[in-house]
Structure 1
């Protein structure tokens, strides 16, 4: 097992899911049954992974010299998110109370555009796709635990809601530049 890849996968998961952690905390705070939130999160994230893997497989048909240019996707997403932060736009909409499995899955999938935009270029150039997927799926469980924990710690949840939107653009831009210059 390559610890470097595990670290990269864990870091990439964490930075692309900061916003999801806040949403999970909100879901857990309003959920009647925590298992619905966990099941919905796994279902939605499985959809994100499926789209990203299919996108990477399609992108792998591209000439090798073109693949690093896929870094423009997370770079553009990061710049767009930075522009929203700079303008003061609030893109986080709080979801309704008592979510079901499919509601959580739908929100997770809909909120996963930045994940897909980052994962496709990285999945295209990595030789350790399976390791990324295993790390991501393990971390979905960790994220669910963290979301549940945050749901009962309002001070922490407020801090994430306040600063998570600032960290996300920076990290997306860095990932985009890393993919661009990795080729």
Structure 2
């Protein structure tokens, strides 16, 4: 029970901000639910894999290198702002080529999840380093179950009448700026901005 509680607390403490990001993705008509869910699972899976490897070989990624991941949401946010300024319609992919866009949407979600995963790695590495393999497997299983719960909660909140109406109306406008702010925060937390200013 202690391992289960620890796994749940570790996931919740490192993924609270993901609820808001997932709500925005679910409220964006450019993204289908299956793309968001796939992207989130790929992103969380990558963070778990990285953390397991680092805990096994005893390496610690420099804070600055993790901070550089903040460039991804900044790029995606700027791209979104450019789309807004060019008044490009939000639903431009209603063509036979949509299949290709689906894959890229899933990669966008997973990319944002990984870029926002510095705190995940920081929590998961020391946790995995202290656990035996049976406990590691239990915690990883909990992380994936909690990822499903996170997606369900975000999906539900995004479909709440008032919430859905607000997200549908303003989500595509707000999302790029949220991504830029998130990227700047990650860069700052990784001391990348202070490094560049010196």
TM-score of the aligned structures, taking structure 1 as reference length: 0.59
CA contact (8 A) 2:28 2:172 kept: no
Match of 2:147 in 1: 136
Which stretches in structure 2 are left out of the alignment for 5+ residues?
84-89, 129-138, 192-198
Change in CA separation of 1:51 and 1:135 when aligned onto 2, cut-off 3 Å: same
Equivalent of 1:90, from 68, 78, 82?
Answer: 78
Greater C-alpha Rg: 2
Which stretches in structure 1 are left out of the alignment for 5+ residues?
32-36, 178-183
The number of equivalent residue pairs is 162
Match of 1:115 in 2: 113
CA contact (8 A) 1:74 1:114 kept: no
Whole-Å separation in 2 of the counterparts to 1:162 and 1:23: 11
Provide the alpha-carbon RMSD of the alignment: 4.1
Q: C-alpha displacement at 1:71, in angstroms?
A: 3.7
CA contact (8 A) 1:16 1:114 kept: no
Q: C-alpha displacement at 1:142, in angstroms?
A: 1.4
Match of 2:33 in 1: 38
CA contact (8 A) 2:67 2:189 kept: yes
Which has the larger displacement, 6-15 or 92-101? Answer: 92-101
Match of 1:165 in 2: 179
Equivalent of 2:165, from 129, 147, 152?
Answer: 152
Whole-Å separation in 2 of the counterparts to 1:108 and 1:3: 30
Q: C-alpha displacement at 1:156, in angstroms?
A: 5.4
Change in CA separation of 1:43 and 1:81 when aligned onto 2, cut-off 3 Å: closer
Alpha-carbon displacement from aligned partner over 1:39-60 (angstroms, at most 9, x marks no partner): 3322222222332333223323
Match of 1:125 in 2: 126
Change in CA separation of 1:160 and 1:11 when aligned onto 2, cut-off 3 Å: farther
